Structures are given as C-alpha cells and as structure tokens.
Amino acid sequence: MATARLANPWTPSARRRKPARLMARIEESGHWLPDELAGTDAWVYRLEDREIADVLDAVAGVESRGLDIKDITRADFALPVLAPALADIKAELMEGRGFALVRGLPIEGRSAYQNIAAYWGISTHIGRAFSQNAEGHLLGHVIDQGQTVKTANGRGYRSSERLNFHADGCDVVSLFVLRLAKSGGEHRLCSSVALYNEMLRRRPELAEALTYYFYCTRRGEIPVGESKPWFRQPVFSVQDGYFAARGASNTILRGAKLPGIPPLTDDQQEAVDFYQALAQELSIAVDFEPGDIEYAQSHVTLHARTAVEDWPEPERKRHLMRLLMKVDDAERPLIPEIAREIDRGILVDGAVPSVPLEP
C-alpha cells in the first residue's frame, strides 16, 4: 500500500510594507511574533514527488556533463516543475516574512556531489553564492572542526559552541541539513523587525544606541582592496524607506577589542545584552530534518543555535552546509556600508573560489 504524502503547509504572508523611518515603528510582513506562527508550518514548502524528480533529473544532467559545482548556473539547472514554487519562495524571502524551509529532498544513498549539486542548483533560483571565508569557499561546511568564537579569528560554523543571534553578511543565508547532533544544536529564528519594534517600545534609548556605526571585526580575513581589520556598520539602519538589521553579537564584541578601537560604552553594552535577551524571547525553534534547506533574508531575520553535543564517530557528526548569497535583482536598498560588504563577499588576495565537497 502506498504511503499517503503529507499536505504542503506552505502559506505565503501578505507581503505588505510601509516606507520605514529610523526610530519609528516599522510596518512590514517581515515583522512576525512567535505566537502568530504557533501551531503552523506556513513557512515550510514540502516537495512533491514530481518536484523531487525534477531536481534529481537536473542533478543527473549536470553530473553527466561533468560540471564543477561552482560552474553550475540557473540555466544549467532548469527546473520546469519546481521553478514557479522557488520564485514564490524567493518573493516570500524578500517581500514577506523573510524565511522559508524546503523539506523533502532525499539525501540518503546519494554522493556528496549529487547532494551538493541539488542544493546548489536549487539555490541558483534564489540568489548567487559568494565567498564566505579566506579560503574562497563558496559553500561552507557547518561542522565542528575544533574552532572557538572566543578567539580573535574563530568561526562559529566550525565550532560546537552556542551562537548568539546574528545576521550573516549577505542578502540570504541558507543551510542544508545532512546530519543532526546527538543533542543540542537547536536552530532558532527571530524577526529583527519585531525585535527592533519591541526594543523601540520598551527601551528606545537602547534602540538608538544600536544606530551607532560599530567597529566589526573581519576575523583576520581582509578582502582585496582593504587594509583595516574592521569595517563599520550600525545594527539598525534604513535606506530609501527599507529597514535592515545586523547582528549585535560577537562581530561587534570582538571588534571593540581590536587595537586602537574604542571599547563599547556602558549604554552600547547594555543595548547588545538587551538585544540578545529580547531576540531569545521573540524567537521560534526550527526542528530540522535531514534534507531540509532553509533560506533566511539576513536584513529582517536573525538566527542562532544552542551548543552542540556531538556523536563521537566522525561520520555521525552534525553536518550542515551553508551558502551566503547575493540577490542581484532584489529591490531592497541598503546603506552603502552594508551593500559594499555584500557585493564583494570575503575574497582575499590569492584565494580561488571553490566548492569543497567535504569539510
């Protein structure tokens, strides 16, 4: 007897927005609260059998041609069945609640190339991946490699530590789930629009403190054309009526400890602490399953995770993949200090863009 497939819970938001002003309440669909989403998986798009077949056919096509993953374009990965749904998901990311999860992609028994090609190919319908570290990796492996965010240049995605609420330096950040941890590693999302509005209501002086152009560490990864180990950005900003938020997290805290950089004031430190506590209060947990692909628009969505207790066997360790993407046709203006960092990514002198199949 055939197993009945679960219904697709995907339900787009109203996708409405009023022009934003800094230090005034923001009204747009990127504002959501946990109780509004309780008991619903409206942000989950569950793939149908014919959509899965569409993806697997596209993977077989690029594999038969011997294409390197980094060379696969949207034109190489035509998805006549799934593409309309991906266009809707992209619109929801950029104009709606700001995050979505694609569920149901089969990964068991498939090679690293096949899984990554499926993830990369689907994602070409959302945005363009760029380098996310000094090695020029266009795809990151989120797996514990013994690093710590407590060091000046440690990267959180290569550690097992708890990661505070933050926004990656991209238009859209994506995670692809291969294996889950023995325990921990709980993934959480928060609307930074809701966080800003609530901070403005409760502690407007702290919201204003986060409009300061903070010194953010580059973690030793200096892009071509730059010489300073930091860049400056506010946590809250508005450009041409569009709101954007960055993380008040380790990037700022470590930046304030760089040589010659002024330490955070008491008000700024309190604002960072309040930001993190409020983000936790306003967040939801996302229960990942192997094969899930999550997309989150960084300008209106924050993400975090709890500490990871992993399996002792290397082949069982928690393993996700990550893409940082620019959405070239997005109509979401950003202040120049944010736009400039996203436009170039982290590409240091001598680094060659690549897509590593293994960590």
Q: DSSP string of 228-297? A: SSEEEE-SEEEETTEEEE---SHHHHHHTTSTTPPPPPHHHHHHHHHHHHHHHHT-EEE---TT-EEEEE
The answer as to whether 324 is a domain residue is yes
Q: What is the pLDDT of residues 298-319, one digit of tens each?
A: 999 999 999 988 878 888 889 9
Give me the percent of the chain exceeding a pLDDT of 90: 81
| Residue 36 CB-density burial (10 A; 0-12 exposed, 13-18 middle, 19+ buried) | middle
* Averaged pLDDT, 96-115: 98
* Cα–Cα distance measured from residue 283 to residue 310, given in angstroms and rounded to the nearest whole number: 24
Cβ atoms of 121 and 67 within 8 Å: the answer is no
End-to-end CA distance of the chain: give it in Å, rounded: 40
What mean pLDDT comes out for the span 161-176? 94
Kindly state the average pLDDT of the residues 239-250. 96
In a domain, 273, yes or no: yes
Residues 6+ apart with CB under 8 A from 60: none
227 contacts: CB under 8 Å, gap ≥ 6: none
For the segment 196-200, the average pLDDT, to the nearest whole number, is: 98
Closest C-alpha among 247, 319, 252 to residue 276: 247
Written as one letter, the residue type at 103 is R
What pLDDT shows up at residue 1? 42
SS3 state at 123: helix
**pTM over 0.75, yes/no:** yes
Confidence at residue 4, expressed as pLDDT on a 0 to 100 scale: 56
- How many structural domains is the chain composed of? 1
Burial call 324-355: b when 16+ CB within 10 Å, e when fewer: bbbbeebebebbebbeebbeebbbbeebeeeb
| CB burial readout 87-111, b (16+ within 10 A) else e | eebbebbbbbbbbbbbbbbebeeee
pLDDT band, very low/low/confident/very high, at 2 (cuts 50, 70, 90): very low
Cβ burial 238-270 (10 Å sphere, 16+ → b, else e): bbeebbbbbbbbbbbbbbbeeeebeebeeebee
Q: Are 116 and 300 in contact (CB under 8 A)?
A: no
Residue 354 lies in a domain: no
Q: Judge whether 246 lies within some domain.
A: yes
Alpha-carbon Rg for the chain, nearest whole angstrom, is 20
Of 36, 118, 24, residue with least CA distance to 79: 118
Containing structural domain, residue 211: 37-344
Q: What is the pLDDT of residue 148?
A: 58
Give pLDDT, residue 347: 82
Q: What is the CATH number of the domain that holds 62?
A: 3.60.130.10
- Does the pLDDT at position 63 exceed 70? yes
pLDDT confidence tier of residue 159, bands split at 50, 70 and 90:
low
pLDDT at 152: 57
Question: 3-class SS at 340?
Answer: helix
SS3 of residue 150 by DSSP: coil
| Residue 336 included in any domain | yes
Spell out the residues 6+ positions from residue 212 whose beta carbon is closer than 8 angstroms to its own. Answer: 234, 268
Q: What is the mean pLDDT of residues 212-216?
A: 97
pLDDT at 151: 61
Residue 70 binned pLDDT confidence (cut-offs 50, 70, 90)? very high
Neighbouring residues of 12: CB distance < 8 A, sequence distance ≥ 6: 88, 91, 92, 96
Q: State the DSSP H helix or E strand holding residue 140, giving kind and residue range, or none if neither.
A: strand 140-142
Which residues have CB under 8 Å from 313's CB, separation 6+? none
From residue 160, give the alpha-carbon distance in Å to each of 217, 225, 249, 289.
Answer: 21, 33, 17, 19
For residue 276, being part of any structural domain is answered with: yes
